[in-house]
Amino acid sequence: MTVLIKVKLPEIYTLKIENFYESDEDLESFISESLTSVSNFVFLAESYCVDIHDYLDGLLKIPSVRHLYLKGFMVDSDDAERLFGGVNAEKLTFESCNIAIDEEFSISSESESQDSNSNLPVLKTVSLIDSEMDTESVERLRSAIQDSRLSCTFKNLYVIG
C-alpha cells in the first residue's frame, strides 16, 4: 500500500507515476493538492486502460505543467474537451490511448479568458502516438484543431472503422 503525504511540493522537473489502480482517491488527492509546478509529468496507465476521468479534476488543478504525457488511458469526448480547454500545460501527449470524440466536441481554451498577465502555460501542441480512434473521431478532432491555434502531430494512429 502506498501512503501519499499531502504537502505542497516545490517545482519538480520530472514526475513519473505508474502502476496505480483505477479510481485511486489518494493518488487523485495527491495530484490535485500537492503538485504546484511540474516540467514533465509522465502519467502511465500501461497495464490496462484506465479512464482518465478518475484523475482529470486533479490534473486540471495543477497550476503549471510544461509537458503532460498520458499513456494507456481511455479518454471520452467530454474529458478530451476539458483537457484541451483546461489543462495548464504547453504540450499534451497521448500515447497508446483510446480516444473518442463526439459531434459536439470543440476546443475552447479556458486560458483565453485568463488575465493576459498570467504566467500560466497555454496549450500549444498536442501529439497522438500509437493511439486508437474511430474514423469519425479522427475527423472531428482534426476539424476542431484546424479551428484552434494548436499544432497537432499524429504518429501511428490506429483508425478503427
Tell me the DSSP string of 36-72.
SEEEEEEEE--SSPEETHHHHHHHHH-SEEEEEEEES
The answer as to whether 39 is a domain residue is yes
Q: How far, CA to CA in Å, does 37 sit from each of 59, 139, 147, 156?
A: 11, 34, 29, 31
Cα separation, 71 vs 54, whole angstroms: 14
The answer as to whether 16 is a domain residue is no
- Structural domain for 78, as ranges: 32-109+119-160
Q: The C-alpha cell of 10 is what?
A: 516545490
What confidence tens digit (pLDDT) does each residue in 60-97 have?
Answer: 999 999 999 999 999 999 999 999 989 999 999 999 99
CB-based contact 125:98 (threshold 8 Å): no
Q: What is the pTM of this model?
A: 0.86
The answer as to whether 80 is a domain residue is yes
The answer as to whether 129 is a domain residue is yes
What confidence tens digit (pLDDT) does each residue in 28-45 have?
Answer: 888 988 888 999 999 998
| Length of the chain, in residues | 161
The answer as to whether 73 is a domain residue is yes
Percent over 90 (pLDDT), the chain: 52
Sorting pLDDT into bands at 50, 70 and 90, what band is 112?
very low
If one counts the domains in the chain, the total is 1
